[in-house]
Structure 1
């Protein structure tokens, strides 16, 4: 998550006497938001009694009992998950609580996304509950999320290394957060470097495919072939390699059409890459013109058809593609 979208409860003030709605399909962000609210509850009252439950099978009377106070604590925090499964009686009790919140209760409601329960969500919003949306991050925000995760753990990494990790691990935020945690523990001086990411995640197919494409498009034939042979030996699916190459060629074609227009952020958004990637692409583009790019498109399309069954030897088809594309770049 880019730091500009990092969720905080700082502006919530005291969580007591409020109903907090956490809504959206991004589970990691939802869970963190709930924990932030509970942390604020404990900071204000270390003796707070915390109760967690699911809306599934929970009735309105059950909620009333949970929010009626405790004999053992002056204040309570109640978390109700799976709000999409709320019954009619529970929905009515929640709306009543939103209309007349108890000053000693922090009520946190979690809706994991989707249209189910939308009517209740709309009514809660009209009641002006504190609303924290947790929507999936856009691809261009993932590098910022990785950088933020590193800072949370007292580590740091450069944007290209963050992108390398995203390429290796994928877009699942829990997986990315876990990967950063692992790397931060092994970064001797707190700096997560490219070689450390490679050591931990070099078996990931996405990294291999894009490494091959970057080397070939830069005219580094020997490196591209070495990466290709290593990828095939470790079981990378051929279609992932042609897909990465197609993405690289398509990106150069788009970049060639926007040269001199807009700032880097706008250009990167149009092409669908992070801004830091433009430097590498511009260096590659110095070797390419429209004629060569058109030729590369045909070479990649032929190889893609071959690895999907048009040819008997996928490895040979890939090697031919890499050689010919790299030679085009090297001229």
Structure 2
């Protein structure tokens, strides 16, 4: 078994420092005990599947078993990890550790003190509760010779962009930046669907992936995405923005994320407005990506301080209205689109 990479330095003290190696979910590897932590199920599933493939490549006779820590029968963990008559390697996948029973917690703590030879136990903890913290702390202290695969939430646009870019990089597949952005925008509210879309393009398209290919596969999603509405309004294309908005609403889009997407783009524009600095250095200083800075600068064409301030105020008002301050959230979004696209007060 290859040696696990060294653990990166702890950042910000968000949790207790870990004494065990931290492994990327994109390049998982087995260990006697593997803690798969964090809320992002897509990444966790990839990590667990990667460990299974790794072990099966070493020995096709691998025995795979599943347990639930929250519906646990005493003795199950030891039974499934104990050597069989023919000594096949064992992989035991344990879900629901964040809701584990007392019986599981007691037996898991005892198990990691003396893991079974030839067994790999993968413990999935979403972090949704502190249940099982004693077990997590013991694993992170180094007990059991374990490793940790962190699967943090993918929430920000830049995180989703990085996730999708990583899908294509891992597959050694080229995708045009504008195509990648369109794909991420089309599935901005569901990482599982974004992952599936990436994999479909990777498996179906023999060459490089262009914007035209993304539009052919997911044109309906791209046309009605929140960022398409935002882009057309910010570009001053009032008629196109209203059409895109109506398509989005007719497709079931919720006004809340629509306004959130628009507000996000306006805030990014405000952050880069008037700053004479290279895209790379500004992006690094603001915690953004180069492409985000470049896009925001292009979006600022035709805008000035007064019109941008007016749009940001309108977005704040619309945000409150679509969250309950108004009886007509659709009108609130339409008014926001009008103010942004015309760059003038509503009704002016």
Q: TM-score range by the shorter chain?
A: 0.7 to 0.9
Q: How does 1:58-207 map to 2 (within 5 A)?
A: 58-113=72-127, 114-126=129-141, 127=143, 128-137=145-154, 139=156, 140-153=158-171, 155-187=173-205, 189-204=206-221
Q: Which residue of the partner structure matches residue 8 of structure 1?
A: 27
SS in 1 for 2:149: strand
CA distance 1:26–1:217, change in 2 (3 Å): closer
**What is the distance in 2 between the residues matched to 1:71 and 1:87?**
30
SS in 1 for 2:64: strand
Q: Which moved more, 1:213-222 or 1:274-283?
A: 213-222
SS in 2 for 1:58: coil
Q: Is 1:277 the counterpart of 2:300 in the alignment?
A: no
Report Cα offsets for 1:127-181 as digits up to 9, x if no partner.
Answer: 1522222222352232122122234556431233222222211253321111112
**What is the distance in 2 between the residues matched to 1:235 and 1:265?**
34
Q: Residues 42 and 48 of structure 1 are in contact (CA less than 8 Å); yes or no, is this contact kept in structure 2? A: yes
The count of aligned residue pairs is: 315
Q: Residues 149 and 180 of structure 1 are in contact (CA less than 8 Å); yes or no, is this contact kept in structure 2? A: yes
**What is the distance in 2 between the residues matched to 1:233 and 1:84?**
39
Q: Residues 184 and 190 of structure 1 are in contact (CA less than 8 Å); yes or no, is this contact kept in structure 2? A: no
CA distance 1:209–1:7, change in 2 (3 Å): closer
Report Cα offsets for 1:223-256 as digits up to 9, x if no partner.
Answer: 5465456556666556655544433333222212
**What is the distance in 2 between the residues matched to 1:124 and 1:312?**
50
Q: Alpha-carbon deviation of 1:318?
A: 5.9
Q: Residues 98 and 131 of structure 2 are in contact (CA less than 8 Å); yes or no, is this contact kept in structure 1? A: yes
CA distance 1:73–1:248, change in 2 (3 Å): same
**CA-based RMSD:** 3.6
SS in 2 for 1:287: coil
**What is the distance in 1 between the residues matched to 2:248 and 2:98?**
44
Q: How does 1:21-60 map to 2 (within 5 A)?
A: 21-60=35-74
Q: Which moved more, 1:291-300 or 1:112-121?
A: 291-300
Q: Alpha-carbon deviation of 1:277?
A: 2.4
Q: Residues 92 and 121 of structure 2 are in contact (CA less than 8 Å); yes or no, is this contact kept in structure 1? A: yes
Q: Residues 252 and 281 of structure 1 are in contact (CA less than 8 Å); yes or no, is this contact kept in structure 2? A: yes
CA distance 1:268–1:61, change in 2 (3 Å): same
CA distance 1:267–1:287, change in 2 (3 Å): farther
**What is the distance in 2 between the residues matched to 1:166 and 1:215?**
17
Q: Which residue of the partner structure matches residue 235 of structure 2?
A: 218
TM-score normalised to the size of structure 2? 0.74
CA distance 1:69–1:181, change in 2 (3 Å): same
**What is the distance in 2 between the residues matched to 1:312 and 1:172?**
22
Q: Alpha-carbon deviation of 1:205?
A: 8.1
More helix by share: 1
Stretches of structure 1 lacking an aligned partner (at least 5 in a row): none
TM-score normalised to the size of structure 1? 0.77
CA distance 1:257–1:36, change in 2 (3 Å): same
